Structure 1
Amino acid sequence: MVSDLAELYELVYSEAPYKEGPEQVERFRKSFLEEVNRPGFAMITAHDGAGCLTGVAYGWTMPAGSWWSKADHEPSASIHNAEKFAIMEWIVHPSQRRRGVGNELLSRLLRNRPEHYATLASDPRSEARKIYANAGWKKVAQSTLTWGPSMDLLVLKI
């Protein structure tokens, strides 16, 4: 499963604007193996008729009182003081985009979650960022990581 997931990650994130390479794919592999053990971890996958992985969405519970590292500021107290579901990846194979796969993944992932908010980090240069805005995600902060671009930190009430 990890190999299929890493292949999909590599395919999606090799595209512009990300242009990630082998180093980032290896970082993803290692972080995924750690993330599956986080409290509240959940993952939803999509497969094509041949059983090939075509999409994935996963995340874990971000405890009350915590927020993204390197954020330029914290969200409102109501968000900061609540448990949040942190979506770490939400990716769809390029051949399956604009077919509702991403919407279905997110809907299934967030259905019946105990948290009242979902949060994610999005590259503001990406096409995905526009999709999030259209779906009601609100930018509440920005984060700059040492190994990547600045990311918009978004929140959705669930």
Structure 2
Amino acid sequence: MPPVLDDAVPGIAALRSIYAAAFTPPPWHETPDQVEAFVERLPSQTGKPGFRCVTAHVDGEPAGFGYGFDTPDPWPADRLYRPIADALGGDTSVLRARFEVHELAVDPRFSGRGVGASLLRRIAADAGPSWLVTSPSATAAVRLYERLGWSPLREFDAPREPFRTFRVYLSPESPEI
């Protein structure tokens, strides 16, 4: 049965549960503190211009979610934004004023059922040029993005993050540098 998608923003408890299921196992290995940091960031992100969230349910159970927003301009300096800017030589124009798929999470119990693909297609639908970041070590995510036509733009290192190396992907409609 295909996932049932919903554009309503669910409660934080539902998102926490999916996020923890998706990001605490390998390859991510997020800690309970990192899961709580996600929960603490979430309220400020829901208020960003262009915010949209999609959830997926399979057989009535929460299976995944994705959300994003318009990339802030001026370019932020927090979290991964600074290393991304550095990797692009300071020229973030290819990413600014575009839609940023900020989180895409699928509970591993529902992997292989089209949940991630459905979520990504829906979250980026009508958004125009979009981008996202993942770790090259997240091979299932990399396969999904590339199968859907997303292309790698640049890899970068973020020494203070759990993974040192990340990769920026552009949606099929995004111009490359």
Q: Are the aligned partners of 1:69 and 1:143 in contact in 2 as well (CA < 8 Å)?
A: no
TM-score, normalised with respect to structure 1: 0.85
Q: Distance in 1 between matches of 2:143 and 2:74?
A: 28
Q: Are the aligned partners of 1:79 and 1:117 in contact in 2 as well (CA < 8 Å)?
A: no
Q: Distance in 2 between matches of 1:124 and 1:95?
A: 22
TM-score, normalised with respect to structure 2: 0.77
Q: Are the aligned partners of 1:70 and 1:145 in contact in 2 as well (CA < 8 Å)?
A: no
Stretch of structure 1 that moved more, 142-151 or 65-74: 65-74
1:133 corresponds to 2:133: no
Q: Are the aligned partners of 1:83 and 1:117 in contact in 2 as well (CA < 8 Å)?
A: no
1:57 corresponds to 2:66: yes
1:28 corresponds to 2:38: yes
Q: Distance in 2 between matches of 1:89 and 1:55?
A: 10
Q: Tell me by how many angstroms 1:143 deviates.
A: 4.4
SS at match of 1:57: strand
How do 1:93-112 residues align onto structure 2 when only pairs under 5 Å count?
93-112=107-126
Q: Distance in 1 between matches of 2:143 and 2:118?
A: 18
| Partner of residue 19, structure 1 | 29
Percent identity of equivalent pairs: 25
| Partner of residue 167, structure 2 | 152
| Partner of residue 102, structure 2 | 88
Q: Distance in 2 between matches of 1:78 and 1:33?
A: 27
| Partner of residue 124, structure 1 | 136
Letter in 2 for 1:24: Q
SS at match of 2:166: strand
Q: Are the aligned partners of 2:101 and 2:124 in contact in 1 as well (CA < 8 Å)?
A: no
Q: Are the aligned partners of 1:44 and 1:109 in contact in 2 as well (CA < 8 Å)?
A: yes
Q: Distance in 1 between matches of 2:14 and 2:57?
A: 11
SS at match of 2:142: helix
RMSD (Å) for aligned C-alpha atoms: 2.2
SS at match of 1:53: strand
